[in-house]
Chains A and B, each alone.
Chain A
Amino acid sequence: MTIVQPLLVVGFVLFALLNMASLLIWIERRLLGLWQDRYGPNRIGPWGLGHVLADMIKIFFKEDWTPPFADKTIFVLAPAIIVLTALTSFAVIPFSPDILIVDLDIGILFFLAMSSMGVYSVALAGWASNNKYSLLGGLRASAQMLAYEVFMGLSLMGVVALTGSFSVKEIVAAQENLWFVVTQPVGFLIFAIAGIAETHRVPFDLPEAESELVAGFHSEYSGMKFGMFFVGEYIGVTLISALIVTLFFGGWHGPFLPPLLWFFLKTLLFIAGFVLLRASLPRMRYDQLMTFGWKFMLPLSLLNLMATGAVILIRN
């Protein structure tokens, strides 16, 4: 029993996540279609759900080509890292009071560390491709991650200070009566923006900006190696959405429905938010992105942390 239950939980989380990642391809295309007055994929199966399967079969049968000028070992390794780090981050996320892989005392720090590791994937992919556009994409990704990682951590410190613990489970438990989005609205906004930059999606998708860098760091990738970047990105989106829910929107808390369902519904809402951002906003210029990060968001998150600390001190 003691060994079976954790295995079951791990199996469930893996199953849910990998299915979610492939389902997200469909969700994103359908939602983009909806918001652009089209239908999106609707041919195979009910509501076009069979497209998920068709896409998977297609990407598995594509030629998995490694360019002769690439650094082979790193080239193969890079796509694995992004999926690995994104999946590992989920270890600390409580889906419901019972479904939690590991309740680390340093849960938040673990997530921050793992998402920082994710930058290696992109930077190494850009480097190993031995291609100017890829290298530029990798460079952009590393600079962007550095800039946004800093205040991503700082924006969470308000939540941590209010809870008095780094454990994600305790943070969720502390939101039983009042969600942290009410007490930490600035922290939520900063974390959401940093999260979008972290998963490099529109409007912060500079590392793979199609109009200037072909496809950025994954220009040279094809087949399932490219698919890994894709899956990694979607798991990243799910991760950031899940974290926003756990840290600011009460995690599994909610009336009537079972906790797991609440968690999934809230997460889906934020994933839809990611897609809405992609449907409506244009890409930022690179210098704007860096200026915004260092000169505006970093001071703002520091101010937020200071104000939170002051309030806690006064209350005590």
Chain B
Amino acid sequence: MLKLFASTYDFLEGAFSLLRSMWIVLKHSTAKRVTVLYPEVMPKLAPRWRGRIVLTRDPDGEERCVGCYLCAVACPVDCIALQATEDEHGRRYPEFFRINFSRCIFCGFCEEACPTYAIQLTPDFEMSEYNRQNLVYEKENLLISGTGKYPGYSFYNVAGLAIKNKAKGEAENEAPPVDVRSLLP
């Protein structure tokens, strides 16, 4: 008898739980839908969203990239290709800089590897193309005229390197170089 009661209770409990879950689902008829209707409504992208990759310039308008190849090395899918070169003052810059976005996985490793904040990922994903070749971006497609996420930063202003308009020791927080041949303290 007790067993019968127990199984009846189990049955009723089960039936109730089924009806309850159906009711809970039915209540969602009036709930707000979470879908963002994308082409009509732009989804909100965070400032650090990892999208289209750009090359930034320093506050003086010069290219930040120094052609160190660290981004190309860090890239897990080998989609970055560049060739470093120097101008007459010894400032390094990329001769060409190519990102194949049909391979890029937007992992952001290049941005992490970059010592000069030159390469940055931006909150933009609308880069579909009908022609695959159009997804290969050259330097002129990648370079932007601004500084991106790090407005005041200029690599050569903190690096102890002599280039045009700046001799050694003139950078920020930098002492003039020591003359090792002098005996004066």
Contact = CB atoms under 8 A, between A and B. Distances in A.
B28 interface: yes
A39 B25 contact: no
Contacts of A281: 18, 21-22
Which range holds the interface residue count of chain A? 10 to 19
A38 interface: yes
A35 B22 CA distance: 10
Contacts of A36: 28
Interface of B is mostly: helix
Interface in B48-84: none
Contacts, number: 35
Residue with the highest number of chain A CB atoms closer than 10 Å, among B25, B31, B35: B25
Interface residues of B, number: 14
Interface in A32-65: 33-39, 42
B173 interface: no
Nearest to B39: A43
A37 B34 contact: yes
A34 B21 contact: no
Interface in A252-301: 276-277, 279-281
Interface string B118-156: 000000000000000000000000000000000000000
A203 to B, nearest CB: 9
Interface string B21-41: 110111011011111010000
B25 A35 contact: yes
Nearest to A277: B22
Contacts of A35: 25-26, 28-29
Given A38-B33, A39-B33, A276-B25, 5 more contacts: A35-B28, A37-B28, A38-B35, A42-B37, A277-B22
Interface of A: 33-39, 42, 276-277, 279-281
